[in-house]
Amino acid sequence: MGRYVIRRLLQMIPVFIGTTLLIFLMVNVMGDPTAALCGDKACDPATQAALREQFNLDKPLVQQYLIYLGNIFQGDFGTAFNGDSVADLMLRAYPVTIKLTFVAIVFEIVIGIGLGVITGLRRGKPIDTGVLVLTLVVISVPTFVTGLVAQLLFGMQWGIVKPSVAYEAPLAELILPGLVLASVSLAYVTRLTRTSVAENARSDYVRTAVAKGLPRRRIIWRHLLRNSLIPVVTFIGTDIGALMGGAIVTERIFNIRGVGYQLYQGILHQSSPTVVGFVTVLVIVFLLANLIVDLLYAVLDPRIRYA
């Protein structure tokens, strides 16, 4: 187990370097960022040269990347073009997004798995069909539409919640955005759980458990669900990374000052240190979430062992 984890962690290093290099190159392809710093006016050439020098943009791309990577290993994520420390921005943005992701994941687990189990056990019944149609609708509507409609209805028409989230991002105000963020994944989780439960409900071990006369609840919780959750856990695990990065739309609509919000501003200002820094951390989150999912397999299914 320990050796497996170490091996996985080592495997992350090339993935990490590869992804950061890719992002770094992509940001640089977008054009010279100093060209936009002076607005609709050309910076005078001397100032522009001084700015390039200040941000190391005058050096070859490879060298820029090495300098950047070197700084990251010393814990320095650089400064955005407006002088904000990127590490500072991350310290402020990540907790907010983690909170939002947490709310979304809770919805996915509670509602998604709950609905999945109910529909899986009542295949073909009206409730099953109803939920299937509903999930289809949710999956086919883009998040920004769901978000805007939810904001309009709950925030403006009915006045149940505030249309945007306050600066401190209290958990209570994150419920609606969390639900919006979770909506598509939630539908997938429902469908995945449903299929998995429906399949396993016909398996031999469940029939055995029923024959032994075990209480229904115990059969569902201990036997059926535990075996059905493996694909669902995989999905939710990888979804953590996707939700954190994908919150860009939701965070814009509800003005939540999280990762997506800072990332968007970074892209808008073409501040490469901000964009590369935030995405780098997202990559790490994604890799770690994947590792944890793999380790969770062993917990759910004792037959799986890592060496």
- Contact by Cβ (8 Å): 256, 174: yes
Alpha-carbon dihedral angle through residues 200, 110, 152, 98, given to the nearest 10 degrees: -110
- Contact by Cβ (8 Å): 67, 59: yes
Among 11, 54, 63, 140, binds another protein (CB under 8 A): 54
SS3 30: coil
Among 81, 188, 278, 286, binds another protein (CB under 8 A): 81
Strand partners, 79: 85
Minimal distance in Å, beta carbon 115 to another protein?
Answer: 19
Strand partners, 85: 79
Among 7, 15, 167, 207, binds another protein (CB under 8 A): 167
- The token pair that represents 95 in the structure block: 């907790």
Nearer to another protein, 177 or 237 (CB): 177
Binding span for another protein by CB under 8 A among 75-83, 119-127, 131-139, 239-247: 75-83
Q: CA angle, corner 93, sides to 92 and 94, nearest 5? A: 105
Nearer to another protein, 175 or 291 (CB): 175
Among 253, 275, 287, 289, binds another protein (CB under 8 A): 253
Work out whether 254 is an interface residue with another protein (CB under 8 A). Answer: yes
Closest listed residue to residue 23, CA positions, set 274, 193, 302, 299: 274
Nearer to another protein, 131 or 236 (CB): 236
Nearer to another protein, 165 or 283 (CB): 165
- Contact by Cβ (8 Å): 252, 261: yes
Distance, CA of 155 to CA of 162 (rounded, Å): 5
Q: CA angle, corner 122, sides to 119 and 124, nearest 5? A: 95
SS3 159: coil
Work out whether 39 is an interface residue with another protein (CB under 8 A). Answer: yes
Work out whether 82 is an interface residue with another protein (CB under 8 A). Answer: yes
Nearer to another protein, 188 or 254 (CB): 254
Binding span for another protein by CB under 8 A among 65-73, 92-100, 116-124, 181-189: 92-100
Residues that bind another protein (CB under 8 A): 30-33, 35-47, 50-51, 54, 81-85, 88-89, 92-93, 99, 106, 148, 151-152, 155-156, 159, 162-164, 166-168, 170-173, 251-255, 257, 261-262, 264-265, 268-270
